[in-house]
Amino acid sequence: MMRKQIAAANWKMNLTLAQGEALLNDLFAIPTELGENQEAVLGIPFPYLTTVKDKLSGKQNIYIAAQNCYSKRSGAYTGEVSVEMLQSIGVDYVILGHSERREYFNESNSMLADKVNLCLEFGLKPIFCCGEALDIREAGTQNSYVETQLIESLFHLTPEQLTNFVIAYEPIWAIGTGKTASSEQAQEMHAHIRSVFAAKYGNAVADSISILYGGSVKAANAKEIFGQPDVDGGLVGGASLIAEEFAAIINSLKK
């Protein structure tokens, strides 16, 4: 079977509960088709996870994601949220290592390895983000930069743990800028990421990994980007806050 095609929303730190519920009511009122190998994932703020989870009951192939978790199991870490807590309320996915967390909260590749381990231990699926800043792209060293992110956070995992894993490639220069990577640039990096996994884990594992593109995805460009052979959907910020946009992005997934 073809690897999963995923349209993931990342609301980031936006919307009140009432606004979020209104957005979902609007989204669910629009016909979307999610086939057997397709999923929609809603990456929503911690306080709304339970409410949104309840709203999804009976819906097929729609899941919730937290946008972060803490790198320690439990204990005296005031204000943090553990993976076990997320598991206990039925969270399915956790977005890990978003560039905003790396930049503003100093998340390192090794801290992310700890977060990945906890997620896998508790049965939550990481959506592991990687991607280079503009200066690295301009220097032409983006491939080795992203490769290092993957090696330092993920290469301790077993082939079984990486089978059906989810990666999001988000070039920082394309996030919230309205400037997407071209579909050729996205395909080139996605193929590189897949080859990095293939070299270490073999083709079967590499081919099972869903690699999402993130960075100014919108209804108008989703079909072309998702149409690339190594692009398995998207991680969507701004456009996921508009029901019509995100519905059209869901409907742009490859069959």
- Binding to ligand 13P by residue 238, rule CB under 6 A? yes
- Within 140-169, the residues that bind ligand 13P by CB under 6 A are none
Among 36, 88, 135, 176, binds ligand 13P (CB under 6 A): 176
102 lines the binding site for ligand 13P (CB under 6 A): no
Instruction: With beta carbons less than 8 A apart as the criterion, state whether 152 and 196 touch.
Output: no
Give the H/E segment covering residue 94.
Answer: strand 93-96
- Long-range (24+ apart) CB contacts under 8 A made by 97-104 are 97/128, 97/129, 97/130, 97/149, 97/153, 98/10, 98/67, 98/68, 98/129, 98/170, 99/129, 99/131, 99/133, 99/170, 99/172, 99/175, 100/12, 100/175, 101/68
CB closer to ligand 13P out of 45 and 237: 237
Q: Tell me the closest approach of the beta carbon of residue 58 to ligand 13P, in angstroms.
A: 27
Q: How far is the CB of 238 from ligand 13P (least distance, A)?
A: 3
The DSSP string of 10-59 is E--S---HHHHHHHHHHHHHS-----TTEEEEEE--GGGHHHHHHHTTT-
Minimum Å gap between C-beta 245 and ligand 13P is 10
Strand partners, 96: 128
CB-count exposure of residue 204 (10 Å: 0-12, 13-18, 19+): exposed
Q: Is 170 a catalytic residue?
A: yes
Binding mask 59-88 vs ligand 13P (x if CB under 6 A, - otherwise)? ------------------------------
Q: Which is catalytic among the residues 100, 107, 170, 245?
A: 170
The residue within the footprint of ligand 13P, chosen from 3, 4, 6, 10 (CB under 6 A), is 10
**Single residue of 42, 65, 124, 175 touching ligand 13P by CB under 6 A:** 175
Q: Contact between 170 and ligand 13P (CB under 6 A)?
A: yes
Q: Name the residue nearer to ligand 13P (CB basis): 112 or 175.
A: 175
- Residue 236 sits in the site that holds ligand 13P (CB under 6 A): yes
245 three-state secondary structure: helix
Determine, following the binding rule CB under 6 A, whether residue 235 of this chain makes contact with ligand 13P: yes
Cβ distance to ligand 13P smaller for residue 162 or 175: 175
At closest approach, how far in Å is the CB of 176 from ligand 13P? 4
* 98 counts as binding ligand 13P under rule CB under 6 A: yes
Name, in order, each residue with C-beta under 8 angstroms of 138's C-beta and a sequence gap of 6 or more. none
Q: What is the CA radius of gyration of the chain?
A: 17
Q: Which residue has the tokens 């730190």?
A: 13
Active site amino acids:
98, 170
State the residues that interact with ligand 13P by CB under 6 A: 10, 98, 170, 175-176, 214-217, 235-239
